[in-house]
Copies of this chain bind each other. A is one copy, B any other.
Amino acid sequence: MDHLTPKQQEIREREARILATARPIVVREGYHGLSMDRIAEKLEYSKGTIYNHFSCKEEIIIALAIENVAKRIELFRKAAEFKGCSRHRIMAIGAAAEMFVRQYSDFFQFEQILRLDSVREKTSEKRQAVIESCEMQCMSVVGGVVRDAIANADLELPEGMTPESLVFGLWSLTTGAYSIALTSDSLPLIGIADPFLLVRQHVATLLDGYGWRPLSRDIDSEQILEQIRKVLV
């Protein structure tokens, strides 16, 4: 499979260069800042060549998102393998999510843009499927930890509630909070300085609410988080 002619090499490499050029533009100037002409000009290729790689700028944005999603899965997997009880493992996943937002905050911008139907519409089914699949894999990793907790009797979910239902709750709480934290200026106005800390607190309380043992009051969170962060690097 690596019988690449020099030309194919060049093309492959150029794709990466296109994305590397586009990324800071999107990060700094958002959706409207990015244009195909601009990329072509910066890279000194004609526009047609850029279109050979990506059929529209929306494809570039989704490709940028895809550059990062793998990292999230990796972090989640590593977190789920944390040696400890199920409650510690779910904490590790929380830490992984937080680390991902902090380290790859670009990604949230791309995701934000792709949330617009009229943008996502223009992207290929194929790339959409990649994103969706990665999201599913993440959820499934979290779901696995929930199932283990139930199997271990660390957790009993209320009647009619599936592990996925709980995952949905955690997913909503964290993405909602991060999305507000990254896009709203009003948080400091209401005296919220560290939204990350707050997310950890709310997640802990929610899990306590479901009775996931050991409860947070029986955990030395600081110390566990320390250990987790070492594993996640």
A residues sitting closer than 8 Å to B (CB atoms) are 29-33, 109, 112-113, 115-119, 121, 132, 135-136, 139, 158, 161-162, 164-165, 167-169, 171-177, 179-180, 183, 185-187, 189-192, 195, 198-199, 201-202, 205-210
Contacts and interface: CB of A to CB of B under 8 A. Distances in A.
Contact of A208 (B164, B169, B209): B209
Contact of A190 (B168, B199, B209): B168
A66 B186 CA distance: 18
Given A113-B116, A117-B30, A118-B33, A165 B198 contact: yes
Contacts of A112: 115-116
Given A164-B192, A206-B205, A186 B132 contact: yes
A180 B175 contact: yes
A186 B164 CA distance: 12
Copies in the complex: 2
Nearest to A202: B169
A121 to B, nearest CB: 8
Nearest to A216: B209
24 contacts: A30-B118, A32-B119, A115-B115, A116-B116, A136-B189, A162-B191, A165-B192, A165-B201, A168-B177, A168-B180, A168-B195, A169-B202, A171-B176, A171-B180, A173-B202, A174-B176, A175-B179, A175-B180, A176-B176, A176-B177, A176-B179, A179-B179, A202-B206, A207-B209
Given A112-B116, A113-B116, A171-B176, 15 more contacts: A31-B116, A32-B118, A109-B117, A115-B115, A139-B190, A158-B201, A168-B192, A168-B198, A169-B173, A172-B174, A172-B176, A173-B202, A175-B179, A208-B209, A209-B209
Q: Which of A139, A164, A174 has the most CB of B within 10 A?
A: A164
A187 B162 CA distance: 13
Contacts of A209: 205-209
A169 B174 CA distance: 9
A169 to B, nearest CB: 4
A183 B117 CA distance: 8
Contacts of A185: 132
Nearest to A192: B168
